[in-house]
Structure 1
Amino acid sequence: MKYLLSIIISVFVFTGCVEKQQVVEANIPNEKIGKPIVKPEIKIEEKINVVEELEIEEEIIPFLESQDKVKIAFIYPSKYVAKYTKPSISTILAYLSYKEIDYDFKIIDTENESLENIQSAFETLKQNDYKNVIALFTPRVNEILNQIDLEDIRVYLPLIEKNSSIENKSNLIYGSISYEEQINKLIEYSPNDKKVMFYQDSFLGKKLKSKFDSLGINIPVVKEIKKKRNYFRGLIKDYRLNNANIFLNTDIVKTSLILSQITANRIYPSIVLSTQNNFDPKLISLTQEKDRNKFIVASSIDDVNEKLLDTIELFGGNVRYEWVDYSVLVGVNYLFDSNRSGLLLTEIIDNEVDYKPRLFKATDFGFIEIK
């Protein structure tokens, strides 16, 4: 029997000492697969503290591996990760739909990453017997998580690397990609010592530069791009870029402008390299084929079953190109059945996702892996 739970739900419930408006937004796709869409019952619970929560209960669907209802929770601090929230929730719901699982899904917005709010969220989960959690926290919560009693709760952390935590609890599972591994993979395609780096004055740009520094990679020419700078002729018209290995630690727009300016100014690099941040199909629409001729990008996202991929895209997730969505998928799959079904190629080893970076060339038809 086939079922479809094609419902993307994003709920924002505001509580606190100031009275705030409560909004519930439900987007139901028009596509129909199998039986008609069943609208779930949505329960909104107000709490005195600042923790906000939503419980989603769907009508019973046979669970293939077990007759028990799966209980899973999603926690996120909206102040820091708002842009990742909807696609992450969509990815989780799409996976549960694909697996035809009978589930309870609770969403809690801790608003920030304070000890008080995070502790309150986990107390709520304990009281309601939720033992599997996907928590979209940033690395700044490592110390807090080590202070909280997480007994009998497994917590998957899509945005945190294991090596960023001094103390690793056995029930914490780390899911962030490793930029160090991607950089090491790119260095293999760096044929000479004539290296140039462009990095952006942003959190990610500075983080990537620091990764190069920590790996001891000697880059004689380093060019910083200020946040509001969109004119690069002065930075590009530099003889040192000819026959150089150019590393772009820049966002998709800045990368596209740099590639275009390299072509326009008749600069001939040996190769142009970038990490996951430029594994984005928008790059193809923003540049010409000749701009991308020597461009190679690394990605830690592995192949996904086509049917599962279609389901996730129907719900609004993007595990093909967005590594956070892909990490969330790896996490929910692991919490559900520890990947015993072999649904995904990416594995979790010693409480950490074992990503395998791959290199791609951008063509007019998309990204093609370099074997």
Structure 2
Amino acid sequence: MRLFTTLLLSLLPSLILAAGKYPSPLPTPKTEILNIEIQTCSKACLKEYLQKGQIFSFLANVNKNNTNEELLTNAKSLSMELEIASIPYFLDIQKSALIQIALLFPKKTIGRYSISSTNVILSYLFNRNQPFNFEVFDSKSESLEDLENTINTITAKGYKQIIAILTYVGANNINHLKTQIPIYIPSVHSSQITEPLMPNIIYGGISYEKQIEKLSALNPNSTKVISFYDEGYIGSQMNEYVLKYNLGTIYSNAFNPKSATTFPKEIKTIQPLLKDSKIFLNTPITHSSIILSQITYNDIKINGIYSTQINYNPSLLSITQEKDRNNMYIANSIAKSDSLLVEEAKLLNADLEYDWINYSTAYGIEYFYLQNIPNAKAYFKEAIKNNQVEYKIDILTPKNNRFVPINYEY
């Protein structure tokens, strides 16, 4: 029978709490499996170990020459289940792993995310404490030619994976390129791509449609619906989703800077429409605060205010009164991340709690990181389906100085 050695270090409680008061500097116990057998083990040999329940022999003998996707999946699952720190196969991968990732963005159109996205990626890689090469590339524009030239530059420099911060225009253009390099786009949802999806591109954008669908299911007895939305492509999409899931929509209006100055007068004319209605408020926070304050000022009784990710931000709590936010519900797709990662990102002025593009970018760097080091602990729980990250949607209500989840099952 093949031999294996399991090394297990057990520390006594008196050592863990040295002097009975202060934590010991000694490392916490870890389990490692080492293979000291000189004979080789084939795929059939590994399968036999699994069938016989000899899981430690199986884990000790997995290597790059005898594994396949099924066997590797079993190795990952068993390692996590048994809380084994490392096995020979994963140790070999980790020693040779060098994360080589590029960040691509057109500074003219995505300039405001250039610094924060860079800081998100750096904070994640620093947190992992693994060797990496990382470089930022400005594609200048989102034209097909500029994107292709930039990707060619990236691949020529030896980078293996790309995170690309783009609008839907750039995402559609990059989908036309016949590239093989893996690309993750955190800022766009796959539903915004007009042509069949390329297999090497993953999309991390949130689904405003699913958020509005879930919000629309709240308070179903109120069929009188009003829609305020931001000007532009995304805002128009949101309004279309409101109309799709709320057939009783009687008024919709694109809100812009000019609307902000005229709204105090305009609200007088639409006051009868607003009364006892469900209001969908998919406008930026500054515009949302104007609409909310005017509803309160004119003492208009409504059945609820509903908003997507666009208003999930602590700024909403500071620039509006609590009575303005009464009976308000906000959809959120940002889950809680690893607390240390969140705090380290804050040190670099990167917000992983309220900025969904930053959150999606962090998911993207982890997606690539785990492809290089598959036994590493995952910080994010979202799955990918049909080239799209699937996010959970929570409904929150803004109370006092925080967002409180409501008891609602979707």
Cα distance in 1, alignment partners of residues 243 and 275 from structure 2: 23
Show the counterpart of 1:154: 182
Residue among 236, 243, 252 paired with 2:267: 236
Cα distance in 2, alignment partners of residues 140 and 218 from structure 1: 32
| 2:333 corresponds to 1:297 | no
Could you give the per-residue CA deviations for residues 269-316 of structure 1, whole angstroms, max 9, x where no partner exists?
111011111111111111111111111111111111111110111111
Taking structure 2 as the reference length, the TM-score comes to 0.71
Show the counterpart of 1:335: 368
| 2:98 corresponds to 1:69 | yes
Matches within 5 A, 1:42-57: none
Show the counterpart of 1:273: 306
Residue among 384, 388, 404 paired with 1:348: 384
Residue among 197, 220, 230 paired with 1:200: 230
- Structure 2 CA distance for partners of 1:124 and 1:297, relative to 1, 3 Å: same
Shift of residue 215, structure 1, vs aligned partner: 4.9
Cα distance in 2, alignment partners of residues 267 and 282 from structure 1: 24
| 2:199 corresponds to 1:170 | yes
Show the counterpart of 1:219: 249
- Structure 2 CA distance for partners of 1:64 and 1:271, relative to 1, 3 Å: farther
Residue among 235, 243, 256 paired with 2:289: 256
Q: Considering only CA atoms, is the larger Rg found in Structure 1 or Structure 2? A: 2
The CA RMSD measured in Å over matched residues stands at 2.1
Shift of residue 319, structure 1, vs aligned partner: 1.3
Show the counterpart of 1:96: 125
- Structure 2 CA distance for partners of 1:82 and 1:288, relative to 1, 3 Å: same
Show the counterpart of 2:400: 364
Task: Give the number of the structure whose residues are more often helix, by fraction.
Answer: 2
Shift of residue 203, structure 1, vs aligned partner: 4.1
Shift of residue 129, structure 1, vs aligned partner: 1.9
Cα distance in 2, alignment partners of residues 350 and 202 from structure 1: 27
Cα distance in 2, alignment partners of residues 138 and 200 from structure 1: 16
Letter in 2 for 1:362: P
- Structure 2 CA distance for partners of 1:122 and 1:348, relative to 1, 3 Å: same
- Structure 2 CA distance for partners of 1:249 and 1:147, relative to 1, 3 Å: closer
Could you give the per-residue CA deviations for residues 217-270 of structure 1, whole angstroms, max 9, x where no partner exists?
441122343432324233333122222111112110111111111111111111
Is the contact between residue 249 and residue 274 of structure 1 (CA under 8 Å) also seen in structure 2?
Answer: yes
The alignment of Structure 1 onto Structure 2 pairs a total of residues equal to 309
Cα distance in 2, alignment partners of residues 124 and 314 from structure 1: 31
Matches within 5 A, 1:128-139: 128-139=157-168
- Structure 2 CA distance for partners of 1:63 and 1:82, relative to 1, 3 Å: farther
- Structure 2 CA distance for partners of 1:363 and 1:65, relative to 1, 3 Å: farther
- Structure 2 CA distance for partners of 1:246 and 1:215, relative to 1, 3 Å: closer
Letter in 1 for 2:378: G
Which sections of structure 1, spanning at least 5 residues, go unmatched? 1-61
Cα distance in 1, alignment partners of residues 103 and 159 from structure 2: 10
Could you give the per-residue CA deviations for residues 82-137 of structure 1, whole angstroms, max 9, x where no partner exists?
11111111100000011112110011101101222211111112222211110112
Show the counterpart of 1:56: none
Which sections of structure 2, spanning at least 5 residues, go unmatched? 1-90
Cα distance in 2, alignment partners of residues 73 and 84 from structure 1: 15
Partner-residue secondary structure (3-state), 1:229:
helix
Partner-residue secondary structure (3-state), 1:220:
strand
Instruction: Name segments (4+ residues, structure 1) moved above 6 Å.
Output: none
Partner-residue secondary structure (3-state), 2:323:
coil
Cα distance in 1, alignment partners of residues 122 and 378 from structure 2: 19
Cα distance in 1, alignment partners of residues 365 and 300 from structure 2: 46
Task: Give the number of the structure whose residues are more often strand, by fraction.
Answer: 1
Letter in 2 for 1:247: F
Is the contact between residue 242 and residue 280 of structure 2 (CA under 8 Å) also seen in structure 1?
Answer: no
Shift of residue 143, structure 1, vs aligned partner: 4.5
Show the counterpart of 1:287: 320
Is the contact between residue 171 and residue 185 of structure 2 (CA under 8 Å) also seen in structure 1?
Answer: no
Is the contact between residue 302 and residue 346 of structure 1 (CA under 8 Å) also seen in structure 2?
Answer: no
Taking structure 1 as the reference length, the TM-score comes to 0.78
Partner-residue secondary structure (3-state), 1:273:
strand
Shift of residue 149, structure 1, vs aligned partner: 3.3
Shift of residue 73, structure 1, vs aligned partner: 0.4
Partner-residue secondary structure (3-state), 2:257:
coil
Show the counterpart of 1:81: 110
Cα distance in 2, alignment partners of residues 282 and 124 from structure 1: 40
Show the counterpart of 2:148: 119
